[in-house]
């Protein structure tokens, strides 16, 4: 381990020193593809079929951009170094020979880049619209590598039709979730993993298959244990609206999805997330309202929370945290909140065990 590496993070709560914050430049609806169907909120399928490949509404992007500016101002005011990706064109068509697509955005670095220790890993993402997403981060990745970080990438996926269960239908009530990705090749998004020291918590999802989890397990080697959890979630994609690790011994859970708390957390305080405060009229193109859980810890106390999410702010205060409010509802419309909008580049701290 190179302790001078500019990339280094072992948990979700150690003091945050440097972070990449996404951008909304050119953010566009992904081109329609079957892989979207299991994860889009009810009522959005038609919007995506109709608007795939077109920009998100400009008024939402302008407002989200203002919110990002304020978010960056808050982070810098709290002493965190903020880096931004490069804006790349998102609606320029590309093709691999087997299929063609356009891109989506560089708004959610949490999805595509996974930092574990001093390694920054480009994820083999399952959506065709995200195939080249990491190019927006390449200037930063090159710089981090030159300064001493490890830089890795999952095997470049083919994303051919064999990766998708094209006969996918909703699971019956009470049945386990049906996932649209097959085991054809390894795929995963970083946002299906959480760092908890030597334990890496993972979930299988509509973008992360067993093959991808096993690839990551072998890539990380013996220092880490990748532990796969299952939740009561019929449409899993990204873990941050299901579980949030707030501090050692403090776990925020989605009370609808975490029915039985996994035994590994038996010594932890389990904090049920308050019901989301977003009104039904607020457009959420790609996420459930449980995006209220998608908060970011600056250390074991300070946490950035959506400014109008009074229930979450009160709950966090009651549990002994110091919430810092930041308006982010327009950004939420694009499918994420503070955790999604960021990738932790460096947090202080050392590699420890926190779980049974
Ligand atoms: N797919 C999740 C969001 C994860 C950040 C949800 O819609 O609840």
**For residue 154, which of 222, 206, 207, 85 has the smallest C-alpha distance?**
207
Atom of ligand 1 minimally distant from the CA of 235 = 1
222 Cα to the center of ligand 1, angstroms: 30
Residue with CA nearest ligand 1 atom 1: 237
Going through the chain in order, the beta strands assigned E by DSSP cover: 16-21, 81-83, 94-95, 100-101, 113-116, 119-122, 150-153, 193-196, 199-202, 225-228, 243-247, 250-253, 269-272, 296-297, 302-306, 322-326, 342-347
Reported pTM: 0.98
107 Cα to the center of ligand 1, angstroms: 15
296 Cα to the center of ligand 1, angstroms: 15
Question: Do residues 78 and 304 lie in contact, with contact meaning Cβ atoms separated by under 8 Å?
Answer: no
Atom of ligand 1 minimally distant from the CA of 293 = 5
Atom of ligand 1 minimally distant from the CA of 290 = 8
Pairing relationship of beta strands 119-122 and 113-116 according to DSSP bridges: antiparallel
Atom of ligand 1 minimally distant from the CA of 233 = 8
Of 236, 237, 331, 339, best ligand 1 pocket probe by most atoms within 8 Å of the beta carbon: 237
Alpha carbons 68 and 107: distance in angstroms, whole number: 10
350-to-24, 66, 86, 100, 211 alpha-carbon distances in Å: 33, 35, 31, 43, 29
According to the model, what pLDDT value does residue 1 have? 58
Catalytically annotated residues: 189, 238, 340
Of 291, 334, 336, best ligand 1 pocket probe by most atoms within 8 Å of the beta carbon: 291
Question: Do residues 113 and 134 lie in contact, with contact meaning Cβ atoms separated by under 8 Å?
Answer: yes
291 Cα to the center of ligand 1, angstroms: 6
Write out the DSSP string of 221-248: GGG-EEEE---S-SS---STTTEEEEET
Of 177, 335, 337, 341, best ligand 1 pocket probe by most atoms within 8 Å of the beta carbon: 335
3-state secondary structure 164-186: ECCCCCCCCCCCCCCCCECCCCC
Alpha carbons 292 and 86: distance in angstroms, whole number: 27
Instruction: Give the binding-site residues of ligand 1, using a 6 Å CB cut-off.
Output: 237-238, 240-241, 287-288, 290-291, 294, 336, 340
- Tens-level pLDDT at each residue, the chain (356 residues): 567 899 999 999 999 999 999 999 999 999 999 999 999 988 899 999 999 999 999 999 999 999 999 999 999 999 999 999 999 999 999 999 999 999 999 999 999 999 999 999 999 999 999 999 999 999 999 999 999 999 999 999 999 999 999 999 999 988 889 999 999 999 999 999 999 999 999 999 999 999 999 999 999 999 999 999 999 999 999 999 999 999 999 999 999 999 999 999 999 999 999 999 999 999 999 999 999 999 999 999 999 999 999 999 999 999 999 999 999 999 999 999 999 999 999 999 999 999 98
336 Cα to the center of ligand 1, angstroms: 7
Atom of ligand 1 minimally distant from the CA of 286 = 7
Alpha carbons 163 and 82: distance in angstroms, whole number: 36
111 Cα to the center of ligand 1, angstroms: 11
């Amino acid at each position: 381990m190179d302790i001078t590496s500019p990339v280094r993070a072992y948990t979700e709560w150690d003091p945050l020193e440097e972070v990449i914050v996404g951008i909304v430049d050119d953010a566009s609806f992904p081109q329609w593809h079957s892989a979207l169907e299991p994860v889009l909120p009810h009522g959005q399928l038609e919007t995506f079929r109709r608007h795939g490949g077109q920009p998100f509404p400009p008024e939402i992007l302008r407002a989200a951009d203002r919110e990002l500016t304020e978010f960056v101002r808050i982070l810098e005011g709290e002493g965190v170094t903020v880096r931004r990706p490069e804006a790349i064109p998102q609606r320029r068509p590309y093709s691999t020979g087997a299929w063609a697509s356009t891109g989506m955005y560089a708004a959610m670095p949490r999805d595509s880049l996974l930092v574990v220790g001093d390694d920054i890993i480009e994820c083999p993402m399952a959506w065709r619209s995200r195939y080249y997403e990491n190019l927006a981060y390449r200037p930063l990745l090159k710089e981090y590598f030159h300064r001493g970080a490890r830089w890795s990438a999952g095997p470049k996926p083919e994303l051919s039709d064999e990766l998708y269960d094209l006969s996918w239908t909703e699971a019956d009530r009470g049945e386990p979730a049906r996932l649209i990705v097959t085991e054809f090749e390894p795929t995963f998004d970083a946002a299906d993993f959480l760092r908890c020291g030597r334990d890496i918590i993972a979930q299988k999802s509509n973008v992360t298959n067993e093959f991808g989890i096993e690839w990551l397990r072998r890539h990380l080697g013996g220092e880490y244990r990748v532990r796969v959890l299952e939740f009561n979630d019929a449409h899993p994609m990204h873990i941050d609206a299901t579980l949030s690790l707030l501090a050692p011994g403090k776990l925020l859970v989605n009370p609808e999805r975490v029915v039985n708390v996994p035994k590994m957390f038996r010594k932890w305080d389990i904090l049920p997330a308050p019901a989301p405060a977003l009104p039904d009229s607020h457009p959420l193109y790609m996420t459930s309202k449980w995006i209220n859980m998608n908060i970011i810890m600056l250390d074991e106390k300070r946490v950035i929370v959506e400014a109008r999410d009074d229930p979450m702010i009160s709950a966090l205060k009651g549990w002994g945290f110091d919430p810092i409010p930041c308006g982010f509802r327009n950004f939420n419309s694009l499918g994420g909140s503070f955790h999604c909008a960021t990738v932790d580049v460096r947090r202080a701290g050392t590699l420890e065990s926190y779980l049974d």
